[in-house]
Amino acid sequence: MNVFVKASFFLRELLLEISKRLNIEFSEVIYMTPEEIIRALNNISDVPKKEISQRLKEYGYYIKGNEIKTITGDVYLKFKEKYFSNYINLSEDELKGAIAYKGKIIGIVKILKSTSDLGKVNYNDVLVTPMTIPSFIPAMEKASAFVTDEGGILCHAAIVSREMKKPCIIGTKIATKVLKDEDLVEVDAYNGIVKILKKAKI
């Protein structure tokens, strides 16, 4: 795991350097595919600004064999309507995001916004955060699932969830605003839905 923590750190540094060279924000780089990054580094005019803008709002991806394909815009809307039409209209107690690693668990929410919150996480809790960083690894090892506000297929949470084989839903936009510490939730990372089963007592 120590090797993986170092790898995650260096990946973040690499993406920060790429953002500098392409003169775009780090939050935009993480929504680019590896192929798009390579093309843009060879020719900065190839930065897919339209696609990035669409992905910041909504996007999806699917895995077929060793291929990961990212879809946005009308293609994504048609894909979602065909395969996920039952989940378009969510209740007020549900959040939707992109699936980083499949699985389904029920657990207690713990909101992490900085390393000072790490001590809150107990084994089998659901870690909810704007975006994970390498220093969150100790808490991620305890948690049973991860839910983030932001992130793309190359984000730290997505990479760690696949390494740890823990359910992960990214890009919910509002998880840290809607969910509270001690809420009981179901993380359905087969369908990309976080459902509040019981709200914490105020």
Domain containing residue 116: CATH number? 3.50.30.10
- Give the model's pLDDT for residue 80: 66
Same domain, 111 and 194: yes
Choose the weakest-confidence range: 32-36, 96-100, 116-120, 140-144.
32-36
Looking at this protein, which amino acid is placed at residue 200? A
End residue of a domain, out of 33, 52, 87: 87
Residue where the block lists tokens 């780090």: 26
Same domain, 83 and 98: no
- Domain endpoint, select from 52, 87, 122: 87
The pLDDT of residue 56: 74
| 100 and 78 inside one domain | no
End-to-end CA distance of the chain: 37
pTM score of the predicted model? 0.59
The yes-or-no answer on residue 137 being catalytic is no
Are both 106 and 82 inside the same structural domain? Answer: no
**Which of 14-23, 68-77, 170-179 is the least confident region?**
68-77
Return the structure tokens found at 47: 């930065």
Token code pair at residue 146? 């991860």
pLDDT band at residue 201 using 50, 70 and 90 as cut-offs? confident
DSSP secondary-structure letter at 200?
Answer: P
Asked whether residue 157 falls in the same domain as residue 191, the answer is yes
Same domain (yes/no): 34, 58: yes
Instruction: Give the pLDDT score at 63.
Output: 65
- Given 36, 67, 87, the domain boundary residue is 87
- Residue 112: band (very low, low, confident or very high) from pLDDT cuts 50, 70, 90: very high
For 87-105, give one letter per residue: b (16+ CB within 10 A) or e. eeeeeeebbbbbbbbbbeb
Burial 21-52 (b: 16+ CB within 10 A, else e): ebebeeebbbbbbeebbebbeeeeeebbeebb
Q: What is the pLDDT of residue 83?
A: 59
CA 6 vs CA 1, 31, 41, 160, 166: distances in Å: 9, 22, 24, 12, 20
- State which residues form the domain around 187: 94-198
Question: Which one of 132, 156, 159, 166 is the catalytic residue?
Answer: 156
Query: Which whole number is the average pLDDT over 74-87?
Result: 64
Pair (74, 119) in one structural domain:
no
What average pLDDT is seen over the chain?
Answer: 85
Total domain count, the chain:
2
Token look-up 């378009």 returns: 88
DSSP strand pairing (67-71 vs 94-96): unpaired
**Tens of pLDDT, residues 2-55:** 555 566 667 778 888 999 999 998 878 888 888 899 999 999 888 988 888 887
